[in-house]
Amino acid sequence: MFLKEFRAVVFQNVLILCASAVLWKQTTATATQVTRPRGVSLARASLYIPDSDFTCLDGSATFPFRYVNDDYCDCQDGSDEPGTSACPNGSFYCRNLGHEATVVPSSRVNDGICDCCDAADEYQSGANCVNTCKELGSAAQEEAQKRYELESQGYAIKLEYINKGKHAKQSQQERNMALKAEQLEAEALRSEKEREKQEAEEPERQALDKYRQIEQEAMKEKEEMERSQREGEASKAFDWLDSNQDGKLQVEELQTHTAFDQNQDGTVSPDEAKFFLHNEEEMEKNEFVTTGWPLIKPFIMKAQGLEAPSQPEQQAGEIPLPDDHHQEESIPETDGEEGEEEDEEHEEEGEIVKPSPVTPSSIEYDAETQALIEAANKARNAYDEADRRLRDLEREIRQLEESNSKDYGPNEEYQPMDGQCYEYSDREYTYKLCPFDNGSQRPKHGGSETRLGSWDSWDGPEGSKYAAMKYDKGVQCWNGPQRSLKVHLSCGMENQLLSVSEPNRCEYEMKFTTPAACSEPRKPNDGDSEFHDEL
Amino acid sequence: MGNWLLILTICAAAVQSCVAVDRGNFKTCDQNAFCKRQRATQPGNSPWEILLDSLNSTISSLQVQVISSRSQARLQLQLIALADSTLHFELDEVNPIKLRYRAQESLSGSPQLSSLKITEQSSDSISLSFGGTGKAILLVKPFRLDVYDGDQLVISVNARGLLNFEHQRVRKSKLWEAMSTVAQTVGSVGSSLPGKAYSWVLQWLPWSSEAGRNEEPSSEPAEEEMKAEAETKHPDEKPVEEEEEPGLWEETFKSHVDSKPYGPTSVGVDISFPGSRHVYGIPEHADTFALKQTKNGDPYRLYNTDVFEYELYNPMALYGAVPFMMAKRQQGTVGIFWNNAAETYVDIEESSSGSVVSSLMNLVSGGGNEPHQQTHWFSESGIIDLYIMIGPTPKDVVRQYGSLTGKTPLPQRFALGYHQCRWNYNDQEDVHSVNKGFDLHDIPYDVLWLDIEHTDNKKYFTWDPVKFPDPLEMVHNLTANGRKLVTIVDPHMKRDSSYFFHEHCEQNDFYVKDKSGKIYEGWCWPGSASYPDFFNPAVRDYWASRFALDKYEGTSLDVYTWNDMNEPSVFNGPEVTMPKDCLHYGGYEHRDVHNMYGMMVVEGTIRGQLMRSDYKLRPFVLSRSFFAGSQRFGAVWTGDNIADWEHLAIAVPMLLSLSVSGIPFCGADVGGFFNNPNTELLTRWYQAGAFQPFFRGHAHLHTKRREPWLFDEQTNKIIKASIKKRYTYLPYWYTLFYEHEKTAVPPMRPLWMEYPQDGETFSMDNQYLLGDSILVHPVVRSGEQEVSVYFPGVDTLWYEIETFRVYEAPGYQTIPVAIEKIPIFQRGGTIVPKKERARRASSLMTKDPYTFIVTLDKQGKAQGRLYIDDGQSLEYQKGSYITLELNMEGHTLSSKVTNQGAFETPESIDKIVIVGLSRAPSSIVDNTGRILEYRYDATSQALVLRKPNFSVSNEWSVNLKM
């Protein structure tokens, strides 16, 4: 039974422990060495004093020191069993001389699996563990050396990046300042032009008011003339169509005119004819003049090769009545939709809606009025130009500020990546990452690009925010969420997309190396890491 | 990964197109001709009579014919007395046109016979005795069987006169011959048309719409013969006009036409349970444990189907079927097993007092006018093959049923640990990092699972060469830390000429055939697929042989198997499964064997695993589909559940139904398969799952990752604690599973299995027992702050397992359930073995010492048992194990080794906790006179013996000097 023997081996000699392969049988300690219970780090050795009672490190209980490492859990925090597996929540310290010290959960002790490279955790399981710390240590050192070299070279590039980034930032700032100054000027200019415009428009308005009456009368007259012309034409057409001269149009009369053969089958069917009589058998002249003729006229004209009717090309059967009412109603709606955002198109539309000073050609202005109009037009044009200039400036400033507000890292080291794109291909897709802009995938064998996400923010864990980037609001997955992308950055000699995976559906992850992620290189320790760790 | 996405789209599309809309894809009784016909049978007027002249008997059986006074059709009845108070009732046609299918694979060997004696015979009845206290009376006219336990009438068959045995017949038509030529022409024209148009054409013809159906099953006798037989021996029971009632000879559901070449063959009868208050069993349904009345809806349906996002609390069929039912009276329990693998329905109706049948019952039983449960069973084909078990205790019934269909052999210990699954762990790297994640966060788990995406294009027994280039290396990574791997192997085979399995099946004629005898092709994960005919022994042999380590590349003895989709699932088939007129080995229709298909797949897998280890290691297979007898082959789970609280809650009744129906190794996907659980739901689900038999976390492809450490610290901590708690109770679980194999009593039990007379527990399904010692009341509602726990027993104490706070039974108590709390109690009077050291996996715990938790009853007594073996081999079946009986009485706790085969272990007992001592002892001495260290806590009244360090192999005792 191993348990009985166990009590005898509570204490370990540090030197023997590291030198001996058959550890637990060694019970004698040389006087010069510090003794401490198995599984305790040097830093905590002072908490385990053999000559006095032991108090659990959480203070929950005190008992004779022989309870320490006696393979029975007495402390709630597991601190009485640093060297055994007895406590479910304890931990075991692997010294790992020649490599790095580690702490493993107590559950690893004597479970038959080698966890510490010095094999200290398997002192009683019979597991065939060999001390691999030396090999691991030198491998780790090699690794560290390589890493150091990589970091050094990468860091050198990073410094260049920082330089570039800062430079870019500075020139952006300078440009921004210049633009701001220009903006102030442009604003002043616009105000001035606006004032001038108003000043020019006032006398123009007064002058034009006088002409308004005349204008209206002329307009009325014109409309009247047009109406009588139309009616005359309709009346003539009626008489022509009313072949039996009975003052009414009948279906039979229309059937004689191929112009009404809407489906072009060679004959005018009664239905086709009735369509023009508003689905009645006949039509009086009055009705014809007001509503019948406008419907018929395009067909007659088409038949005579004068003008292609547009309405009759709509689906047969539909009555192609002009739908002016609807259009008139809809205009004020669009008009009232005054967005707050500056929308150029909208603005231009607005200008059209403004009362137009342009006169009907029939009216002649006197020279004075004409001059006022011309002056006002000139002022308006000058204002428009000043306004456009200001808005251009504002847009440029906005863009600049947007770019300026991007976080390119604590020292602007990621700035040079903005505007670049990097690709990676696997079996089926080519992935593209354009840092600070977006990520996407494209099937290799044809097909369109799918946006995986657009730049959102830095997304590293607490303390290393710049270790990962988040791109979100990508294209929605079929029956699923919007795609998103997380990019993990690590130090490398060049900007390179290393791999892409999709651990969750529609949540992509990329590994990306960049010199910008390199930290200032620290010379790797070539001394004993435990020594380093413990002192 | 791109590939992965593509596949997901295809899969999703497939799912979408076949099973997205839930109910509409599955038949209701009204859409199912035989269900409608059987359900329409009117009670009270049975035409069936016993033909006393035909009576024969042997020492264990009697045979007699039953005749219909209406149609003169004859049935052969056989009653066989079986060991352990079981009566086998078998009813088949006399001289059937085609032999009806008899389900044999459900049985674990031939049942042991017992003696049957005819004690009395008159022109009205035959009285007989069987087994010990069993008596039965066969009533001659109308035919009825009453079964008694002693003087108590407990089961009555055909008391309501619902016996309806649709004998096989030849289609009747005066114009049969004249028309067959015409019909052939029409048939061949029609067959190229869609079903509807076809029937429209036929309807237009002067004869019946059915005349066009002219497929003659090749195995049938010549037409002439059939006709002659039909006319002489099988005159129709039903009037001629009923012959052409729709659905007899062809049935259409959605676009699927079932050709039904054998016409109507269904069988049904009523079975009443006088005096019973509740009936249980007939899994699998997502419904309450105590089954509901079905009069106002559909009957409970047993038809294995792949139901997408199943709904709760209804009688719809799910993935598995066990036609076993238990009926519970206040004083006794009986069971029946309806051994029929065809589609089956069960109607349950509580007799209204005063009904004809109920007064008949009461007259016979002499009981009061109490209502009782009466059931009506009917299957689409096969015979009436009924096993009647008369208990009288619930444990007697499960034992009786267990000796018929078998018990779950003790699984390997790892199978009782925690299983980590997901559709899918994407590649080797992913597996590696998940494995590392568990270690990094010090969470134990035993098995990592790989779903379908690990294969090369859904060709089972293969690996995706890009994602899993070196599976053996990956397996070694897992086994190096004591863990196992499970890979999925489904029974739909990709029709790909470069796939060895498919080629072999093609060449050897191993696939299921369609109605015309051509290889059946369905649509499943791989796209076009065919289904090996597992009813053919040669197919199962071949399947089994593919698990050999040199055949299934990339596997080792640490790789086990998951058989999914084995209902079988066919995305484009009727009700997402195989057409019923498909043909199997022996000329049987899929209709006859459907519910057993999944079980036969698993049988092959189990044998494969046994063979590859030269019958040394216990196999492990998880199956979604199951039938009576599946328990012999391993574990099942409740299929594709949903991450919501209702689904967490339904797991308990579903698992209880499985447990009492012989399938004890069962679980529900922890966390819910579909959708994303919030952290509270996930936490509660882990807490619940840790105390259910099969404990596996699983998630759908479209869900977010849910390895425990991906959540906030508290969630991670509680999930970890729940899993660790599971591991501390593994010795108890393992002992329970060992005992199950001996006694058939399931580890997870309804309260009434231990307290059969406590009426309060009869419909209880929000709490349950593990063994006889542990009471579990999982928290299954959001935001729950307290639960009302019912403590069963008289003069019984229950101790909360963490604080040892004591509760007195019987009665309800309010128990606070903060988020980290799992309400679990140990009964006073029991001793539960635990292992309290946390390891990475169960295989690393084998040498760790035991802790015994002794909770005293009011007399200061307690008993418990512990079973120990090597945890993996089959040596235990040769006696290589240790069993301990622990007993505390009169301040002395002793351990008696009741079996010690050739099994040695260094395990010891390093801690004994005795709870319920009102004061500290003055000293504690063991049987060798050694004085033991201890600590006593007056608040919890718990005494802790420190390091007694008894070897489990030795007998020992400790005495508390009070």
Kindly report, residue by residue over A49-104, the tens digit of the pLDDT: 988 999 999 999 999 999 999 999 999 999 999 999 999 999 999 999 999 999 99
- The pLDDT, as a whole number, for residue B93 is 96
User: Using an 8 Å Cβ cutoff, are B534 and B601 in contact?
Assistant: yes
CB within 8 Å: A427 and B3: yes
| Interface membership of B2 toward A (CB under 8 Å) | yes
User: Using an 8 Å Cβ cutoff, are B800 and B825 in contact?
Assistant: yes
- The pLDDT, as a whole number, for residue B262 is 93
Rounded to the nearest 10°, the torsion over CA A514, A517, A519, A521 is -20
| Interface membership of B894 toward A (CB under 8 Å) | no
pLDDT in tens, B91-107: 999 999 999 999 999 99
ipTM: 0.85
- Tell me B65's DSSP state: E
Return the closest-CA partner of residue B571 out of B521, B516, B639.
B521
H-type alpha helices, B387-447? 394-405, 428-440
Please count the residue pairs, one from chain A and one from chain B, whose beta carbons lie less than 8 angstroms apart. Answer: 91
- The pLDDT, as a whole number, for residue B364 is 53
pLDDT in tens, B255-284: 999 999 999 999 999 999 999 999 999 999
**Which amino acid type is present at position B585?**
Y
CB-closest option in A86, A89, A113 to B482: A113
- The pLDDT, as a whole number, for residue B825 is 98
**pLDDT higher than 50, residue A393:** yes
Quickly state the pLDDT bin for B14 (edges 50, 70, 90).
very low
CB within 8 Å: A113 and B908: no
Beta strands in B801-878 (DSSP E): 806-808, 811-816, 824-827, 830-834, 850-855, 862-868
**Mean pLDDT (whole number) for A223-249:** 85
CB-closest option in A72, A480, A502 to B1: A502
**pLDDT higher than 50, residue B434:** yes
- The pLDDT, as a whole number, for residue A370 is 86
- The pLDDT, as a whole number, for residue A51 is 87
pLDDT in tens, A504-527: 889 999 999 999 999 988 877 654
**Mean pLDDT (whole number) for B822-850:** 96
- The pLDDT, as a whole number, for residue A236 is 86
Q: Looking at A46-55, A217-226, A288-297, A348-357, which range is the least confident one?
A: A348-357
Quickly state the pLDDT bin for B361 (edges 50, 70, 90).
low
Q: Which residues contact A420 (CB under 8 A, 6 or more apart)?
A: A434, A435, A495
- The pLDDT, as a whole number, for residue B369 is 56
Tell me whether strands B300-302 and B344-350 are parallel, antiparallel or unpaired.
Answer: antiparallel
User: Using an 8 Å Cβ cutoff, are A277 and A292 in contact?
Assistant: yes
**Mean pLDDT (whole number) for B553-574:** 97
Q: How far is B907 from chain A (nearest CA, A)?
A: 9
Give yes or no on whether B37-163+269-282+322-405 and B758-961 have one common fold: yes
In the predicted model, what is the mean pLDDT of chain A?
81
CB-closest option in A111, A501, A502 to B839: A111
CB within 8 Å: B908 and A443: no
Domain ranges for chain B: 37-163+269-282+322-405, 172-250, 413-490+537-568+593-751, 758-961
Distance CA B620, CA B610 (A): 10
pLDDT in tens, B757-803: 999 999 999 999 999 999 999 999 999 999 999 999 999 999 999 99
Which CATH code of 3.40.630.30, 2.60.40.10, 2.160.10.10, 2.60.40.1180 fits the domain covering B758-961? 2.60.40.1180
Q: Which of A6, A107, A110, A501 to mutate to test the interface with B (most CBs of B within 10 A)?
A: A107
**Mean pLDDT (whole number) for A107-121:** 95
CB within 8 Å: B837 and A107: yes
Length of chain A: 535
**pLDDT higher than 80, residue B177:** no
The listed range with the strongest mean pLDDT (B10-24, B357-371, B410-424) is B410-424
User: Does residue A335 or residue B690 have the better pLDDT?
Assistant: B690
CB-closest option in A72, A86, A502 to B4: A502
Distance CA A468, CA A459 (A): 5
CB within 8 Å: B481 and A113: yes
- The pLDDT, as a whole number, for residue A355 is 44
**Mean pLDDT (whole number) for B916-932:** 96
H-type alpha helices, B40-133? none
Q: Which of A85, A89, A424, A475 to mutate to test the interface with B (most CBs of B within 10 A)?
A: A85
Is B480 exposed, middle or buried, given 0-12, 13-18 or 19+ CB atoms closer than 10 A?
exposed
- Look up tokens 């096993």; give the residue: B387
Is B447 exposed, middle or buried, given 0-12, 13-18 or 19+ CB atoms closer than 10 A?
buried
**pLDDT higher than 80, residue A23:** no
CB-closest option in B442, B844, B910 to A105: B442
Sign of CA dihedral A193, A199, A202, A207: negative
How far out from the chain centre does Cα A6 lie? 63
User: Using an 8 Å Cβ cutoff, are B770 and B732 in contact?
Assistant: yes
Helix (H) or strand (E) holding B258: strand B256-258
Distance CA A428, CA B3 (A): 7
CB-CB neighbors (< 8 A) of A112 in chain B? 482, 844
H-type alpha helices, B144-222? 176-191, 195-204
Length of chain B: 962
User: Using an 8 Å Cβ cutoff, are B633 and B620 in contact?
Assistant: no
CB-closest option in B724, B947, B951 to A88: B724
- The pLDDT, as a whole number, for residue B216 is 38
CB-CB neighbors (< 8 A) of A428 in chain B? 2-3, 6
Query: Which chain B residue's Cα is nearest to A2?
Result: B906
In the predicted model, what is the mean pLDDT of chain B?
90
| CA angle (A407, A412, A413) in 5-degree steps | 115
Q: Looking at A264-268, B758-762, B904-908, which range is the least confident one?
A: A264-268
If interface means Cβ-Cβ distance under 8 Å, which residues of chain A face chain B?
1-4, 70-74, 85-86, 88-89, 105-108, 110-113, 125, 426-429, 441, 443, 478-480, 500-505, 507
Residue numbers of B annotated as active site:
564, 640
pLDDT in tens, B839-861: 999 999 999 999 999 999 999 99
Work out the number of other CB atoms within 10 angstroms of the CB of residue B797: 21
CB within 8 Å: B426 and A502: yes
| Interface membership of B906 toward A (CB under 8 Å) | yes
**Tokens (6 digits) for A94:** 């692997």
User: Using an 8 Å Cβ cutoff, are B779 and B684 in contact?
Assistant: yes
CB-CB neighbors (< 8 A) of A462 in chain B? none
Q: Looking at A66-75, A274-283, B251-260, B635-644, which range is the least confident one?
A: A274-283
- Tell me B718's DSSP state: H
Q: Looking at A264-278, B462-476, B611-625, B765-779, which range is the least confident one?
A: A264-278
pLDDT in tens, A175-200: 989 999 999 999 999 999 999 999 98
- The pLDDT, as a whole number, for residue B358 is 52
- The pLDDT, as a whole number, for residue A401 is 86
Q: Looking at A145-149, B394-398, B944-948, which range is the least confident one?
A: A145-149
pLDDT in tens, B190-238: 333 333 333 332 333 333 333 333 333 434 344 444 444 444 444 444 4
User: Using an 8 Å Cβ cutoff, are B845 and B822 in contact?
Assistant: no
Q: Looking at A111-115, A365-369, B518-522, which range is the least confident one?
A: A365-369
User: Does residue A495 or residue A337 have the better pLDDT?
Assistant: A495
H-type alpha helices, B413-572? 428-440, 471-479, 500-508, 537-545
- Distances, alpha carbon B774 to alpha carbons A312, B722, B832, in Å: 86, 16, 9
Task: Tell me the percentage of chain B whose pLDDT exceeds 70.
Answer: 88
Predicted TM-score (pTM) of this structure = 0.80
Task: Tell me the percentage of chain B whose pLDDT exceeds 90.
Answer: 85
Q: How far is B1 from chain A (nearest CA, A)?
A: 6
At the second CATH level, the architecture of B413-490+537-568+593-751 is Alpha-Beta Barrel (3.20)
Distance CA A65, CA A48 (A): 8
Class for the domain spanning B37-163+269-282+322-405? mainly beta
Q: Which of B839, B952, B953 to mutate to test the interface with A (most CBs of A within 10 A)?
A: B839
**pLDDT higher than 70, residue A212:** yes
